Amino acid sequence: MLHLSSVLDSTELAQARAMLAGADWEDGRATSGSLPAQIKRNRQLPAQGPATQRLQQLVLDALRRNQLFFSAALPRRIAPPMFSRYQGSEDHAGDYLDDHVDVAMRILPDGERVRTDLSCTLFLSDPEEYAGGELVIFDNWRDEQVKLKAGDMLLYPADKIHRVNPVTAGQRYASFFWIESMVRSEEQRRLLFQMDRDLMLLRATAQEGQAPAVLGLTGAYHKLLRMWGQG
């Protein structure tokens, strides 16, 4: 799992929140796909709505300029971002998403398929705006509970069991989507990510005479990417 801070800047976040507040929402159970409808209770933006398309472009533009995201995900294709709203209620029977695993393939509106190597949740509400609503990911025999500030994003393997705890007060806005990576293997992706981060540090701190070593390691990184990557 990787926490990416400030994927959306303050201006983009304000724009997104304004669009979300004025949007028409539909029952999230309509997009349950192969999962049982009772697995979740929330509201989502219609996939083809005008507000959805503007929000999708805003999120995708932010991702394209985020070097850390590209280094970690090595994206080949990104499924169009979706947008959800979880709302609390006075009787504490708030919106939720039960334990599940994301499907291995997503069918896009144009009929193309995206292999879901990575899942992303981009938080669009600050933690103090709602109670409950933690994103819970079952990882290495324990539950990781995540509740990030608005504009931050969590990137995690799509094969992890996860859920959204019931929201008992307030509203939780988020965007969620999936990535097909150029590198299918999680282990290989992690190795390339670590190499890339180390190379960035070496380039920034390299002393006189170390340039050939840095260049050699850069070449090794790209050889591995050619070996493991899909165009």
Domain count, the chain: 2
- Identify the bridge partners of residue 164 per DSSP, sorted by sequence position: 97, 135
Cβ atoms of residues 104 and 33 within 8 Å: no
Residue 221: which domain range? 186-228
pLDDT tens across 194-204, in order? 999 999 888 88
pLDDT of 190 reads: 96
**Neighbouring C-beta atoms of residue 5, cutoff 10 Å:** 10
Closest to 134 in 3D by CA, of 165, 98, 91, 103: 165
Closest to 29 in 3D by CA, of 15, 42, 11: 42
Pair (102, 19) in one structural domain: yes
pLDDT of 213 reads: 82
The three-class DSSP label of residue 3 is: strand
Pair (175, 191) in one structural domain: no
Question: Residues 136-164: what's their mean pLDDT?
Answer: 94
Pair (172, 193) in one structural domain: no
Dihedral angle computed from the Cα positions of residues 156, 49, 86 and 40, in that order, rounded to the nearest 10 degrees: -70
Pair (135, 203) in one structural domain: no
Give the integer Cα–Cα distance in Å for 52 and 20: 9
pLDDT of 208 reads: 65
Pair (26, 56) in one structural domain: yes
Least confident of 10-19, 40-49, 151-160, 175-184: 40-49
pLDDT tens across 98-122, in order? 999 999 999 888 888 999 999 999 9
Model pTM? 0.91
Pair (35, 113) in one structural domain: yes
pLDDT of 211 reads: 81
More confident residue, 36 or 67: 67
What's 83's domain CATH number?
2.60.120.620
Cβ atoms of residues 97 and 163 within 8 Å: yes
What's 217's domain CATH number?
4.10.860
Band of residue 33 on the pLDDT scale cut at 50, 70, 90:
low
Closest to 77 in 3D by CA, of 115, 121, 119, 122: 115
Task: Tell me how far the alpha carbon of residue 211 is from its chain's centroid.
Answer: 35
pLDDT of 39 reads: 83
Cβ atoms of residues 67 and 109 within 8 Å: no
pLDDT of 183 reads: 97
Q: CA–CA distance from 128 to each of 25, 171, 211, 215, 226 (Å)? A: 23, 10, 48, 47, 45
Q: Which residue has the tokens 């899942």?
A: 119
**Count, residues in the chain:** 231
pLDDT of 91 reads: 64
Give the integer Cα–Cα distance in Å for 13 and 153: 12
Flag whether pLDDT at 222 surpasses 80: yes
Pair (113, 192) in one structural domain: no
Q: Which of 147, 162, 181 represents a domain boundary (last residue)?
A: 181
Pair (48, 128) in one structural domain: yes
Pair (156, 60) in one structural domain: yes
Q: CA–CA distance from 103 to each of 12, 144, 155, 167 (Å)? A: 30, 21, 16, 24
Band of residue 93 on the pLDDT scale cut at 50, 70, 90:
confident
> Mean pLDDT score of the chain, rounded to an integer?
91
Flag whether pLDDT at 171 surpasses 70: yes
Pair (157, 195) in one structural domain: no
Pair (73, 177) in one structural domain: yes
Pair (142, 194) in one structural domain: no
